[in-house]
A and B are shown apart, each in its own frame.
Chain A
């Protein structure tokens, strides 16, 4: 298990859109998926009410695993006001050469058509070996993918590990 970063430092970095120095070391395994009891919020929101939104403050972090791979985690709602931040983070990552991206939506409560549009745009920019794997196990978000008919267009996995495995797998078809 990788050492956990100081939560305060991570939060501060998140607020400033600066990647924490230790970011590359911080990859959340499924087991330590929810530090500081965020799991409770998540599970409560998840189980009791799939329509619940805004229970978690929006935050977005980028962890660079290596020079080609980054993991972008989104916490909170992705909507008209927050989707642009995801867009720029994704596009920046692509521009920096990290073209294997895991988008971790495990802590995302809700996603609207604007966020979907962002994913569509990013998906189009993927060239060559570039890949975007989405990790999401929340029914509410998965349903949005399904309703929009975009679940077939993205590689969606229940966990970030599976998404990572997909990124590094030899060229093969989508899900």
Chain B
């Protein structure tokens, strides 16, 4: 016996723990109440609907294993049952499964149903169907045997008397779990297993059985079906569990779909009351799934009178709740509602704002692209990259760069920084960048471009000042020319990883401070491999542990990155190393291929006017360019003479064969001349 019982037990155990956990006693009671009311008030129709509902669920659970097997076994014996017609009718939808079996199950259930009030029958019917479906489930039908008689009888009778019979059957064969309660009542403990069978005969299998048959029964034999349906609600708890479980499993088996559809159709045809009942029924199943409670529920199910006390109890409880508490509950409900509405609106607004933000970001991206162009990856033989990182603080905005090809095959670079920060600086950023670009494109030398821009923009900057470096690189001659206005000079690193030391004495002041600018220009020969890094002061002024990042760290970082390194990698590295970045960072990297020859300063140029020609600054400039101290006075003298004569002169210091040689050009209007037609030196001083 015990062994027989096993499968059904397993079924119970397999009921999802969640279902057991979730349903508290009050819920169970409520379901019960609903089911019973439905059953009693609405009558057979409701039962039918319940059955159909079950069936709806059932289809999902095609191969529920043991239970189904029981059903399957029952089927063969059932053929003779009174429900064959129904079975036949149903058969088509049910498909391959022997409809008869299902019908038989259904009939048997009817009997049960009445007695038990239970949805068991509904389930049974289902079970029968399933049994057909999944006869292959292949597990031993220990429970099935006992069930068979019951089922058969049920099928035959379909009346009250039949019910009794079924009970008996159940008593004999009852699969342990389900009908234990009944069994206990009707018969002795031993029977419990058998008893289960009866009610459950149908029950166990029911869980498994497909919906279609149940529906069919309902349609064809309304009364009996109804009875069956009513039963499930109350008594068939164990089965319910099985059913639920099987239903879960069903998800995997699509085959049941067709049947489900059929059932659904049937359900639709049912009256509203039926629907109500059906709606409640499936829940009952899950609620009552716990085995230990089965007996009780069985009791209550069998006697509808129990329901009344329950209802009254609930009513009493509600009645006892003091008015203030009710008011509180009402207030809380209202609050919850209000909050829900509010959160809904908030969510909607958030979505809208998010959308707008996306659009704005796109726009900003476009605008930024206008200010910070994406440089071509390569310009001729030179790899070019540029990057910009706004400051972490309020200084964001103000840096700019541009890299572009000139008509004559040269490459031009502009990197600058507007003194103001934030949005107010942006218009000036664009103004300076495009002005300089225009001059460079027009063929001016970097110095000429900066000088002209300085003269032109002075009035337009309105108090802002701009530091900038403009450069051109000629890939054919491998000559880099750059001119800075208050801006850090580029870092030029050769194959030997050494940075070329720039001459910073007598640098030009920034554009916009009211001083003539664009007076200095450096010419560097880059015969071999080199990295040229133009940057803004935000890079060198980043803080690393209370120190400035500095040009030494910048050089080291560039060496570390190697010739393949990009500007964005450089800035990322700087940001990584720095503790704080008070200013924007912009960098533009030129990667020049070649041999191991180191870059060297070819020429330094300084434009002098009458005042500056004799200044101490100019003297220092000459010295720092490598001119011998002895020859400086002579050079200064000649320069002063030249400046006095023509307003201004350009002092050049050439580096040839390791020697510095100064020369003078009357190039005071340099920006009016293209860089391709430099003036010939009028006066040359060499030692």
Contacts and interface: CB of A to CB of B under 8 A. Distances in A.
Contacts of B549: 51
Interface stretch (B32-40, B52-60, B407-415, B512-520): B512-520
Given A112-B583, A113-B419, A148-B467, A120 B393 contact: no
Contacts of A117: 419, 465
B9 interface: no
Interface string A101-142: 000000000101110110011001000000000000000000
A152 interface: yes
A53 B537 contact: no
B612 A152 contact: yes
Nearest to B418: A113
Nearest to B543: A53
Interface stretch (B72-80, B197-205, B503-511): B503-511
Interface string B371-394: 000000000000000000000011
Contacts of B395: 80
B330 interface: no
Interface residues of B, number: 41
Contact of B419 (A110, A114, A149, A175): A114
A148 B546 contact: no
Contacts of B517: 149
A52 interface: yes
Contact of A80 (B394, B612, B615, B617): B394
A149 B504 CA distance: 8
A149 B509 contact: yes
A80 B580 CA distance: 13
Given A53-B543, A110-B548, A121-B463, A148 B509 contact: yes
Given A53-B547, A54-B543, A80-B583, A146 B504 contact: yes
A15 interface: no
A173 to B, nearest CB: 8
Contacts of A114: 419
Nearest to B417: A113
Contacts of A121: 463
B547 A152 contact: no
B507 A153 contact: no
A146 B419 contact: no
Contact of B546 (A55, A146, A152, A175): A55
A98 B626 CA distance: 44
B651 to A, nearest CB: 15
Interface centre among A143, A149, A150, A175 (most CB of B within 10 A): A149
Nearest to B553: A51
A8 interface: no
Nearest to A117: B419
A66 interface: no
A152 B617 contact: yes
Interface centre among B419, B520, B615 (most CB of A within 10 A): B419
Contacts of B537: 112-113
Contacts of B617: 151-152
A32 B541 CA distance: 32
A79 interface: yes
B486 A148 contact: yes
A147 interface: yes
Interface in A68-116: 79-81, 110, 112-114, 116
A121 B488 CA distance: 21
B606 to A, nearest CB: 11
A30 B549 CA distance: 31
Contacts of B421: 80
B543 A153 contact: no
Given A80-B393, A124-B514, A149 B541 contact: no
A49 to B, nearest CB: 7
B510 A51 contact: no
Contacts of B471: none
B582 interface: yes
B465 A149 contact: no
B514 to A, nearest CB: 7
Contacts of A120: 465, 513-514
Given A121-B463, A148-B510, A175 B505 contact: no
Contact of B510 (A80, A143, A149, A151): A149
Nearest to B420: A117
Contact of A147 (B465, B488, B515, B615): B488
B546 A147 contact: no
7 contacts: A52-B547, A53-B548, A80-B421, A112-B583, A148-B509, A149-B506, A153-B515
Interface of A: 49, 51-55, 79-81, 110, 112-114, 116-117, 120-121, 124, 143, 146-153, 173, 175
Interface of B: 393-395, 417, 419, 421, 463, 465, 467, 484-486, 488, 504-510, 513-515, 517, 520, 537, 541, 543, 546-550, 552, 582-583, 611-612, 615-617
10 closest residue pairs by CB, A with B: A149-B507, A149-B509, A51-B550, A54-B546, A51-B548, A148-B486, A117-B419, A51-B547, A149-B508, A149-B486
